[in-house]
Amino acid sequence: MMPTDESRMSQPRYAGVPTFMRTPYQTDLTDLDIALIGIPYDGAVTNRAGARHGPRDIRDKSSMMRAIHHVTKVNPYALCNIADIGDATFEALFDHDAVVRDIESFFARVHKAGVVPLSAGGDHSVSYPILKAIAKDEPVGLIHIDAHTDTWDEFQGSKFMHGTPFRRAHEDGLIDASRTIQIGIRGAQNTSEGWDYSLAQGMRVVFMEEFTQMGVDAVIQEARRIVGDGPAYLTFDVDGLDPVYAPGTGTPEIGGITTIEAQALLRGLRHLNLIGADVVEVAPPFDPSGNTSLVGATLMYEMLCLLAEVIADKKAMK
């Protein structure tokens, strides 16, 4: 007999085949509301690889998640049909253009089926092909939590790397700069190119010092004001957190967001019109304790609750 969602959640956490949040694994998108997806790719990092191992370890640590949110009392599994549909796969792993096409194709199938994607990377370059798949009809708003703006033009001659996804997305008309907010930005750079581009295009850049001065509640209100009621995508690079909480990442920057601030920030985004989300840059080889993957899994659960409420809101309006 196949276990039900309830019985699966009650099984010992060390038992069974690991899936995101212990949801069922299925490839059939019929009647699915939210697809949990892994993107095991870090071929676009500038220095410390390792995020390719993120999805597998996040799946493992996500067995620690439970059903009902202790603050909002949301149970995403009671609101939506949710499953782990596996990982995006690659035909030519060392060809950047082919990787973009493979990820875009995978997510286009999900989007065509009317399913909302929640993903675990992988490096931050993966957000670009996701947006190519789900925002091709109209530009969307963007809530981007990160230490870096990721709006460089290129690195070592390549325009596809983990510091360029949102420049590429903006150039392609996938994101609306006036409805984009980048939160937690910090760290010295060898060039101000990324900061300059974001600001020149009209993106709202909340540097970490301003975040600290404003406080979480004010940043939430700013994010809600910027994004408005239109469709928006949520992306969380774990290097947006202080590395004391998430050392297992490729480009750590001290002086970042705490985990309790991150949770409060995400909870403050309830009922926004989110069409997808991702957690990226979890690199388990740099954190033998496994804590960064646990943080990634917990952030993913917070996002799952947000997406489930949005879908429930839309169902109620029909």
Q: What residue ranges define each of the domains in the chain, with the CATH number in brackets? A: 6-317 (3.40.800.10)
Average pLDDT, the chain: 95
Identify the bridge partners of residue 35 per DSSP, sorted by sequence position: 83, 117
What's the pLDDT tens digit per position in 84-104?
999 999 999 999 999 999 999
Q: What's the rounded Cα separation, in Å, for the pair 301 and 279? A: 10
Q: Which phi-psi region, left, alpha or beta, contains residue 31 (left: φ > 0; alpha: ψ -120 to 50)? A: left
pLDDT top residue among 156 and 8: 156
pLDDT-derived band at 2, boundaries 50, 70, 90: very low
| Structure tokens that stand for 121 in this block | 């990377």
Annotated binding site: 124, 146, 148, 150, 237, 239
Phi-psi region of 125 (alpha: psi -120 to 50; beta: other; left: phi over 0): alpha
Cα distance between residue 318 and residue 314, in whole Å:
7
Query: What is the chain's alpha carbon radius of gyration, rounded to the nearest angstrom?
Result: 18
Lowest mean pLDDT among 8-12, 101-105, 148-152, 309-313: 8-12
**Pair 220, 244: CB distance under 8 Å:** no
**Residues annotated within a binding site for Mn(2+):** 124, 146, 148, 150, 237, 239
Q: Where are the beta strands (DSSP E) in 154-251?
A: 175-185, 204-207, 232-237
210 pLDDT above the threshold of 80 = yes
Residues 38-87 have pLDDT tens digits of 999 999 999 999 999 999 999 999 999 999 999 999 999 999 999 999 99
Burial class of residue 297, CB neighbours in 10 A (0-12, 13-18, 19+)? buried
